[in-house]
Amino acid sequence: MKLNNPDLKNDKKQTTSGKKESCTKIIQPVQDALYVLSGKWKLPIIISLTYGNKRFSQMAREIPKITDRMLAKELRELEINQLVKRKVYDSIPVMVEYSLTEYGKTLNPAIDELYKWGVQHRKKIIGKD
């Protein structure tokens, strides 16, 4: 498997313990990313917000089968991880709008690659787009 990461270079001179260290260096950041993005709903929420700022009810309509409770929970977690920004407008009734932070937007290339892989995987496994 080839990954574009200098820590994963297949160095023939590297010792077994050195290879283990290199592998560990890769595993930890990937696990961190998966921890922040894991679950059924976080990526659909992020994808929804890539198309622009949204109110809670807009996202609830766009993301099939997500409950209000789950949407609120996942938005809080994404906000804690600085991927989503919550803006409250001083209006009557109070309006709340969600958007991706600049940091959240850095996920776009990874999501694009996941999309491409997903399309390819569907074709390979079930023969559908």
Residue 2, domain member (yes or no): no
pLDDT digits (tens, 9 = 90+) for 49-95: 999 999 999 999 999 999 999 999 999 999 999 999 999 999 999 99
pLDDT given for residue 9 in this prediction: 52
Strand 95-100's sheet: what is its strand order?
A: 54-55, 95-100, 84-89
* Number of structural domains found in the chain: 1
Residue 38, domain member (yes or no): yes
pLDDT given for residue 24 in this prediction: 86
pLDDT digits (tens, 9 = 90+) for 5-50: 655 555 555 566 667 778 889 999 999 999 999 999 999 999 999 9
CATH number at 66 reads 1.10.10.10
Question: What global pTM score does this model have?
Answer: 0.80
- Structural domain including 103 reads 13-126
Residue 92, domain member (yes or no): yes
Give the H/E segment covering residue 88.
Answer: strand 84-89
Task: Evaluate the CA torsion angle 60, 65, 68, 72 in order and state its sign.
Answer: negative
44 close to 52: Cβ distance less than 8 angstroms: no
